[in-house]
Structure 1
Amino acid sequence: MPVGNGTHGSRTRDPGLQPERTRLAWRRTTLACAVAASLAGRQALYTGIEPGSLVVLALVVLVWLAFLALAHRRIRAMRASRPPALSPRAAAAAVACTLALAVLGAATLR
């Protein structure tokens, strides 16, 4: 709900706790991706280091680092009093990282 000084022309935005909740959601998602990457690494070590599993593990780490960078940029952007909307390109990158981790996670279980 916009808060103003009583006049119709001057309204300021009261974001409340929404930016903080969004920052926390990005942090939780990044932590979940780190756990998925760790489990993929554990599975690769458990089954033995083979060239195929080493490539999959390297891809998992790269995808996790890409998601970490994306999340860090978004968390920093949420510090603004009026944070910008997530760009379609960043949203597509986040979806691509999530799908890539799912596919690579399934590949480690083969």
Structure 2
Amino acid sequence: MSTSGAAARDAGLQPERTRLAWRRTTLACSVVAVLALRQALRGSGSPSEVGGAAVIALLWVAFLWAAHRRIRELAAERPPGLAPRAALAVVGCTVALAAFAVAVIL
């Protein structure tokens, strides 16, 4: 019984697990963004603090957009692989959000 590897592949629950992992990561990113925004807006309200809060909010929205796009892609029967550009965008948002969160705290 010879079938092609692509047609015989059964993804099983792997796409669902990946979708759930994206949702958990989105939730963790949201918590970090909210805490960083709260800390930034608690200060004196200087332009640098407000600017930092705006950047944090923008990074959070960009991450949410990329994550939800990937979650929708994973709903397909044969989800495509994550594009290198999308992976780079998600990693960039995550690293920048962490850097701005640390800068706000210090």
TM value normalised by structure 2: 0.92
- In structure 2, the partner of 1:64 is 60
Where do residues 6-21 of structure 1 align in structure 2 (5 Å cutoff)? 7-9=1-3, 11-21=7-17
Among residues 87, 99, 110, which one is paired with 2:95 in the alignment? 99
- Is 1:44 matched with 2:40? yes
Q: Which runs of 5 or more residues in structure 1 are unaligned?
A: 1-6
Q: Which amino acid aligns with 1:51?
A: P
**Conserved in 1, the CA contact under 8 Å of 2:41 and 2:53?**
no
Q: Which amino acid aligns with 1:19?
A: P
User: How large is the RMSD of aligned CA atoms in angstroms?
Assistant: 1.1
More deviation, 84-93/40-49? 40-49
How many residue pairs match? The answer is 104
Q: Which amino acid aligns with 1:8?
A: S
- Counterpart Cα distance in 2 of 1:23 and 1:78: 7
Using the TM superposition, give the Cα deviation of residue 109 of structure 1 relative to its aligned residue in structure 2, in angstroms.
1.1
Percent identity, aligned pairs only? 57
- Counterpart Cα distance in 2 of 1:9 and 1:46: 62
TM value normalised by structure 1: 0.89
3-state SS of 1:24 partner = helix
- Counterpart Cα distance in 2 of 1:65 and 1:14: 34
- Is 1:53 matched with 2:49? yes
Which runs of 4 or more aligned residues in structure 1 lie more than 3 Å from their structure 2 counterparts after TM superposition? none
Which structure: greater helix fraction?
A: 2
- Counterpart Cα distance in 1 of 2:3 and 2:90: 38
- Counterpart Cα distance in 1 of 2:56 and 2:41: 14
